[in-house]
Amino acid sequence: MKKVKLSIVIHTEEEFDWAGGFNRHNTSVTHGKELTEMCVDMLKLGCCITFAMDWSFVTSEQGQNVIRFMQENYTEQVEFAAHLHPWVNPPFDEQYSDTDNIDEKLSYPGNLPAELEKAKLAMLTDKIAELTGRSPTTYLAGRYGVGENTYKILSELGYKVDVSISPFADFRHQDGPDFSNKNNASFTQNGIKCIPHSSGYISHIGVLADWLNRDTANLHNLNNNVVGKVILKLLGVERVRLSPEGFDEAQMKKLVASLTRTGVEHLIYSFHSSTSKLGGSPYVETKESVQQMYKNNSDILTTITSVTTPSLFADLL
């Protein structure tokens, strides 16, 4: 039986107050040591890691140290991809001249004018190529923010894979994209292979979770009536991500089981680089939460690496 592929995608970025808006000067990267140590533990398990890196990370001393270490020690197990946070990534258009803060709508790169979105990604692409010796071919939009011009831009800049889709999620309340009609199935758009971040539904009843994960319309149908909502509550339906950030081994094992039963062939396990350090993200505000996150990470990877094939997106080309 063919094993499901497993890719680890780290949103490799600066530390900032996630509730404090988007400021172009929030570029601090101080978690290089912790990130390296955490990644080495995963690499020793046989995992492959894709570092989706933003401008703040690749231009920081600690970020460059991480890149150098991985290239020198684990070159066959890592890939360097692009992660566009437009509020910290040059060039800065005149819309930024009056203030260092940007509107939330513009934090989604796909909401930028096509020329600006492309210019920012081109600069990031060139910087990553300069540091790693290879142009990135995998893209992760900041805040999952793909837009109507994104895939054309990716094609023009030589990208082959996009991992920006967040299944079943709807960010329209923040002027972001709507993925509520997308499940975990891969697809191709403008010649770009789109592999969603693994996210879906679990339940006390596995067949119900499978039914919900197969077709996005199924949840909508249940949510449209009182009886359906009661069923969802009684049967413990919840949406989870394949991520140690806020989810435990039991939840993630249920998700992996359901997604594989429904035919998903490529899983993406993800977290933010800043979560590797105490206080680096909302998921690790206490020593206890750091320990729990590390435990979640170790537990689930120890479990699922035995039933999946480690994969880099560059190897799919």
For 262-280, the pLDDT digits (tens) are: 999 999 999 999 999 999 9
Q: What is the pLDDT of residue 97?
A: 45
Selection from 243, 300, 228 nearest residue 273 by Cα: 243
Q: What is the pLDDT of residue 76?
A: 98
CA dist., res. 123 & res. 131, Å (int): 12
- Ramachandran angles phi, psi of 108, nearest 5°: -90, 115
In this structure, what token pair is assigned to residue 22? 């988007």
Span 117-174, pLDDT tens digits:
999 999 999 999 999 999 999 999 999 999 999 999 999 999 999 999 999 999 999 9
CA dist., res. 276 & res. 66, Å (int): 13
CA dist., res. 219 & res. 71, Å (int): 44
Span 85-128, pLDDT tens digits:
999 999 998 565 456 888 999 999 999 999 999 999 999 999 99
CA dist., res. 290 & res. 258, Å (int): 28
- What mean pLDDT is predicted for residues 220-249? 94
Q: What is the pLDDT of residue 101?
A: 87
- What mean pLDDT is predicted for residues 218-246? 94
What does the mean pLDDT of the chain come to? 96
Percent pLDDT > 70 in the chain is 97
CA dist., res. 239 & res. 139, Å (int): 24
Alpha helices, DSSP H, located in the chain:
32-44, 55-58, 61-73, 114-132, 150-156, 206-214, 216-223, 226-234, 249-261, 287-304
Tokens 């923040």 map to which residue? 174
Cβ(181)–Cβ(143) below 8 Å: no
Give the pTM: 0.97
In this structure, what token pair is assigned to residue 249? 């081994």
The domains found in the chain, sorted by start residue, are: 4-199+241-255+263-316 (3.20.110.20)
Q: What is the pLDDT of residue 100?
A: 84
Cβ(32)–Cβ(71) below 8 Å: no
Q: What is the pLDDT of residue 317?
A: 81
Q: What is the pLDDT of residue 94?
A: 55
Tell me how far CA of residue 294 lies from CA of 11, 31, 41, 180, in angstroms.
16, 15, 10, 30
Q: What is the pLDDT of residue 237?
A: 97
